[in-house]
Amino acid sequence: MSVDLEKILRPIDHEMAPYEPKYMMLASGEAVVVRQVFRDEIPDLLKHVEPLIHVERDYYDVVASRVYAELLGYYQYRFQDQYVLALQVDGELAAIVNGRQVNPKLGLSLHTLALRRGLRIGAHGFAAKMEYHIDTLGHDEVLVVAESPIGFRRWMIEYKLEKRFETPHELGGVPSWALTRELFDRARSKLVVGRRPVPPELLEKAMEKILPPSDPPTPPLDPLAATRAMYDPTATSLVQQRWEMEKGMGNA
């Protein structure tokens, strides 16, 4: 009997209302457009996420590796109920955010990745996805975790997230935090900005093509510079230390 294995491997996504694009002005005076990215455009994101896998600073390596896997999983129909939003300045990719629906009342925040720094573009992306979960998808709450101290400041502290430590988050099984509808309503006037509809010329530019980020985070010229920095016990430095120890044992 022949079995179409792909039918078993491929999850069937639940219907989710699309994200309605919006735009906002940055402190630099530029407009940033937030819009949904569907499956066929995922390869255009992957090529800009891959270089960040090699950037240790601010945990870009961990977050970019996970985002790469999530986007590839979405592209190849191996991820259930995921959505992806892109933030673009004049077509250029400035941030990526993604998440998924766990059930009709519960959302789950996956990642926020800023490819342009210093303008709160990542913070705007996070606010946009919370808005999508609460206002569009009608979730009562969204489970969130932080993988970096900047992320912790931006989400747990700025939104005053509630602990849901009894619930392991899908990202590594670590204790979850939650953004409830009530917390979101309290943050709305301060943290959630943007206008709709997006002026047609701005939206067309964003939809036309995802252009490469003009100033993305890059690894330091000296690859060991970050690991030498005090208070930087990153995975890479630990792995390198271990290799050094193994070399020593081999010589003994």
- Residue from 147, 159, 191, 206 touching ligand COA (CB under 6 A): that is 147
CA–CA distance, 187 with 181 (Å, rounded to integer) = 10
Among 114, 130, 178, 210, binds ligand COA (CB under 6 A): 114
> Binding of ligand COA at residue 60 (CB under 6 A)?
yes
Buried b (16+ CB within 10 A) or exposed e, 156-177: beebebbebeeeebebeeeebb
Q: How far is the CB of 156 from ligand COA (least distance, A)?
A: 9
Q: Which residue's Cβ lies closest to ligand COA?
A: 122
Q: How many residues bind ligand COA (CB under 6 A)?
A: 20
What crossing angle do the helices spanning 235-251 and 60-75 adopt, rounded to 10°? 100
CB 37, min distance to ligand COA, A: 17
Q: Does 205 bind ligand COA (CB under 6 A)?
A: no
| Contact map string, positions 159 to 198, toward ligand COA, x by CB under 6 A | ----------------------------------------
Q: How many CB atoms lie within 10 A of CB 248?
A: 9
Tell me the closest approach of the beta carbon of residue 165 to ligand COA, in angstroms. 17
**Which residues lie near ligand COA (CB under 6 A)?**
58-60, 63, 112-114, 117-118, 120-123, 146-148, 150-151, 153-154
